[in-house]
Structure formats: structure tokens, C-alpha cells
Amino acid sequence: MSTSSFPTSAVVFALITLPFCAPDTFKAAVYEHAVILPSETEIPVSQDDALILMNKNIDILETAIKQAAGQGAQIIVTPEDALYGWKFTRESIFPYLEDIPDPKVNWIPCQDPQRFGHSPVQKRLSCLAKSNSIYVVANIGDKKKCNARDSKCPSNGYYQYNTNVVYNSEGKLVARYHKYHLYSEPQFDAPDKPELVTFKTTFGTFGIFTCFDILFHDPAVTLVEDHQVDTILFPTAWMNVLPFLTAIEFHSAWAMGMRVNLLAANTHKVGQNMTGNL
């Protein structure tokens, strides 16, 4: 459990200049979150207990979101696995998952939380975006029913995805990205092919991917080269590894090399060498 000696996590603000659109700057926040982890067990907890843990983490994110919005940030990025940590089996992650629809359904979970079944996490994140008038980028788990006619359908009848979601300042779901390059995550499935997810705002065009994805050509490089994004949103649970793979070093080098803004939000877990936002 993550109890000892964490410094108070800080909200880090960066002013970012977008060369090609007006207004030509925007204010963004990235939050390095010390995740409250579940107790270590492979026995699945109830959906209610899973929600209790996720809500404890969201309580902390809520404080960060309010602070960020209060200081004029238009978007805040929170880390990968920020609501429940990373150590799961397919069975033990299941109670944490919700069905996350394609953003083209045009959904504000805060206003219509029952539309796609049990969605308390999506509802709460959407309401935080809406009530604070800020874009909220979060990482949660998606489940998608499949059946035996699909030969790749997992034995529990669901695909399970490590998923980034973005809610706009009205609380509407505007982006959903399923992580492609999983890193020791037996609890999740990769989508069939890399997803190229972008969305436009009044303050720029954004692309999104997750953690280990940054080490591969697709979707990361293709998003920047072929989709005219100004900024990449990058939730991560990045373990710093010397000499070349520490978070700030590697992520800033990638942003410079690709000539794009990168908003990286890492988890804060010093004992596992997970620190560093930019």
C-alpha cells in the first residue's frame, strides 16, 4: 500500500504556445497522482467495493481539477491507472470496468448517466468537467461484450481495454482511446489495430495515446505526422529506468523530436520509480 513519505502531490501548470491557431496560448494542468491502491488479492472484489476505491482516488483528482480550473487551466490530464492501480488479473479488474461508448453517440454522462448502463465513474468524471468548465482527461477501464462467433472473444465474453477518456467543458465525452501497446497487463486486451484518436477544441487539435505506446511508431508518430495535432495527451504509469528511459528525459525528448506539445501525467509511486510530469 502507498502510505509512507509521499510529498504532497502537486498540480503542475505549463503555459503552452500553439503556433498555428488563435488564441495562441492555452493553460493546461498535468497531475501526478499517488494512486490509492486496492489490497493485493486475486479474488475479485464486488462492484461496490471497486467503486468505493475509485471514488477515493477521484476525490483526490477532484481537488486537483478544481485547483487547476481555479487557476485558469482549460484542460487537465490525469495519469494512467489513476483510479485503481496496475496489478490485476483479467478477473480481478473486471468489477472496475464500465462500458465506454464511442464518442460519436454524443453523450454527456453527467446529464444522462443511465444511457449506457452502470456508469458511475463516467458520470462523475463528466460532472467534474462540466461543473468546473474544464476538459478532463482520465484513464479508466472499458469492457465490450463479444460472443463465441468471434474466435478471439475471451472466455469471460468481454474484451477489456485500458482506456483514455476525454470530457469537454460541458461534460461531453469527446475522445476514447484504447491502449494498443500493453506493458505486462494481463488484465487487458489490445484493440485489433492502433486507434488514431484526435479531437478539436477552440484552443487546438489534440491527439491521445498511453504510456508504452510512446515507444512505437503507431499510433504515436502517425498521429503527429498525418493528423496535424498541436498537442498530445499522455496519461502514463511510467517507471523511470536509467539511463535512457526516465520520464522527463524521454518524454521531453520525444516532444522536441516530434515538434509537438506533450502533456504527460505520471503516477506518483517513488518506491517503484514512478515520478515525473511535463
What is the per-residue binding string for ligand NAG in 239-268, x denoting contact by CB under 6 A?
---x--------------------------
The answer to whether 273 contacts ligand NAG (rule: CB under 6 A) is yes
What whole-number distance in Å separates Cα of residue 47 and Cα of residue 116?
17
Contacts of 5 (CB under 8 A, 6+ apart): 270
**Is residue 231 a contact partner of residue 259, using CB atoms and an 8 Å limit?**
no
- # binding residues, ligand NAG (CB under 6 A): 3
Q: From the CB of 272, what's the least distance to ligand NAG, in Å?
A: 5
**Residues paired with residue 140 on neighbouring β-strands, in sequence order:** 163
Pick 231 or 275: Cβ nearer ligand NAG: 275
Near ligand NAG by CB under 6 A: residue from 25, 63, 202, 272: 272
| Cell numbers 469527446: residue | 174
**Is residue 84 a contact partner of residue 55, using CB atoms and an 8 Å limit?**
no
Q: From the CB of 246, what's the least distance to ligand NAG, in Å?
A: 9
What whole-number distance in Å separates Cα of residue 69 and Cα of residue 258?
29
Pick 9 or 273: Cβ nearer ligand NAG: 273
**Which triple of cell numbers denotes residue 123?**
458520470
What whole-number distance in Å separates Cα of residue 133 and Cα of residue 75?
9
Q: From the CB of 234, what's the least distance to ligand NAG, in Å?
A: 21
Q: From the CB of 239, what's the least distance to ligand NAG, in Å?
A: 6
The answer to whether 105 contacts ligand NAG (rule: CB under 6 A) is no
Pick 130 or 268: Cβ nearer ligand NAG: 268
Pick 60 or 270: Cβ nearer ligand NAG: 270
- Within a 13 Å sphere around the CA of 237, how many CA atoms are in the beta-carbon half? 23
Helix runs in the chain, H state only: 47-70, 90-93, 120-132, 222-226, 247-258
Residue tagged active-site, from 130, 143, 179, 269? 179
Q: From the CB of 241, what's the least distance to ligand NAG, in Å?
A: 7
Residue tagged active-site, from 32, 110, 127, 211? 211
Residue tagged active-site, from 62, 80, 98, 185? 80
Pick 13 or 183: Cβ nearer ligand NAG: 183
Whether 98 sits among the annotated catalytic residues: the reply is no
Whether 42 sits among the annotated catalytic residues: the reply is no
Q: Tell me the residue number closest to ligand NAG, measured at CB.
A: 273
**Which triple of cell numbers denotes residue 253?**
525528448
Q: From the CB of 270, what's the least distance to ligand NAG, in Å?
A: 9
Pick 43 or 242: Cβ nearer ligand NAG: 242
What whole-number distance in Å separates Cα of residue 113 and Cα of residue 130?
14
Contacts of 263 (CB under 8 A, 6+ apart): 14, 16, 28, 30, 75, 77, 137, 231, 232, 233, 234, 278
Question: Which are the catalytic amino acids?
Answer: 80, 179, 211
Residues in touch with ligand NAG (CB under 6 A):
242, 272-273
